[in-house]
Amino acid sequence: MENNPFSIKGRVVIVTGAAGNLGKGYARALSQAGAIVYAWDIFKEHPVASYEVDGYKDLYPVKIDLTSETEVMHAVKNIVETQGTIDGLVNNAALNPAVGTDDGTDLFAPYESYAIDLFRKEIDTNLTSMMITMKHVSPHMMHARGGSIVNVASEVAVIAHDHRVYQSPGKYKSPAYAASKAAVLGLSRQWAARLGEHNVRVNAISIGGVQSPGVPDDFAHRFGSMNMLQRMAQPNEYNATIQYLLSDASSFMTGSNLVVDGGKTAW
C-alpha cells in the first residue's frame, strides 16, 4: 500500500476533451503519475491514430462524442469490462476556441445576433455532456464505494469575461460559455450531494486563462495583467490540481469549487 496520499498509481481515470490543449496534458500527467488513463475526445482536429501515446504507459485514446448518451454508455461499459472499475472522471471537454486561432469565429459574435442553435450546442457540449458521463460512471463508483469526479469550470463561472481584453470591436466571449460554466458549479454541487453517502466525491475547478501555443504575446500580457500574479497560466499548471482532487489527499473534499486563477476573482 502506497504511503503517499497524492498517489493515483493504478487508478482507472477517464479524461474527456483529452485531445485538446489542456486535456492532453492532463492525460499525460496522470499517466506519468501511474494512472490507467482513458483519453476521450471526438478527435475532430486530429484522428485518434495520431494521438501520441509513445512513452506513456496505459494511456488509451478513445474516439467518442460526449453529447451522445449511447456512445458514453458503451465506452463506460468497455472500461468496466476491461478494468473492472472506474476510479476517476475528469470532465474537461468544452467548446473553447483559443485566442490567436481562426477557429470558431461564430463563438465570438455579438449577443444580439448570436445563433441560438450554436448556444444550444455549447450547452450540450459543455454542460449536458457532464451530466451524461456522471450518470453512467457514477453507478460503478457507488458500487465500489469510492471515486472522484472533477468537473472543469472556469473563472467565468463566477465573473463576467471582460471583452475589452480582445481589443477587437465586435468580439465577445460566448454567452453560452459563461452560462454553462456557472451551471457546472451547480451541477457539481448537486451530484456531490447525491453521491456523498456512497463515498464518491465531486468537485469543480475554476481555472484561469492559459497561454497555450499560438496565444499572441500582447493578448497574454493584457489578460495576465488582470490577475494578481500578472500573467496567464502555463498549460501544465493545473495538472497537479487535477491529480490532487483525484487522489486521497483530497479525501474530505466534495461539493467544492477549487479556484486556480492567479487571484483574478479574489481581486
Ligand X SMILES: NC(=O)c1ccc[n+]([C@@H]2O[C@H](COP(=O)([O-])OP(=O)(O)OC[C@H]3O[C@@H](n4cnc5c(N)ncnc54)[C@H](O)[C@@H]3O)[C@@H](O)[C@H]2O)c1
| 177 catalytic per annotation | yes
Q: Interface with ligand X by CB under 6 A: which range of 74-82, 87-95, 134-142, 251-259?
A: 87-95
For ligand X, give the closer residue by CB, 48 or 142: 48
Q: How far is CA 239 from the centre of its chain?
A: 11
Going from the C-alpha of 83 to that of each of 11, 21, 38, 79, the distances in angstroms are 10, 27, 11, 6
Any contact of residue 94 with ligand X (CB under 6 A)? yes
- Least distance to ligand X from the beta carbon of 232, Å? 7
47 CB-contact burial (10 Å; exposed 0-12 / middle 13-18 / buried 19+): exposed
CB-CB contact of 96 with 182 (8 Å): no
- Least distance to ligand X from the beta carbon of 260, Å? 9
Q: Report d(CA 28, CA 45) in Å as an integer.
A: 19
For ligand X, give the closer residue by CB, 142 or 179: 179
Any contact of residue 209 with ligand X (CB under 6 A)? yes
- Least distance to ligand X from the beta carbon of 219, Å? 11
Interface positions, 17-76, toward ligand X (CB under 6 A): 17, 19-23, 41-42, 44, 64-67
Q: Interface with ligand X by CB under 6 A: which range of 52-60, 132-140, 163-171, 209-217?
A: 209-217
Longest distance between any two alpha carbons in the chain, whole Å: 58
HSE-CB for 70 with a 13 A CA cutoff: 0
End-to-end CA distance of the chain: 42
Which residue in 26, 51, 60, 177 is the catalytic one? Answer: 177
Q: What positions carry a catalytic annotation?
A: 177
Binding site for ligand X (CB under 6 A): 17, 19-23, 41-42, 44, 64-67, 92-96, 125, 152, 154, 207, 209-210, 212
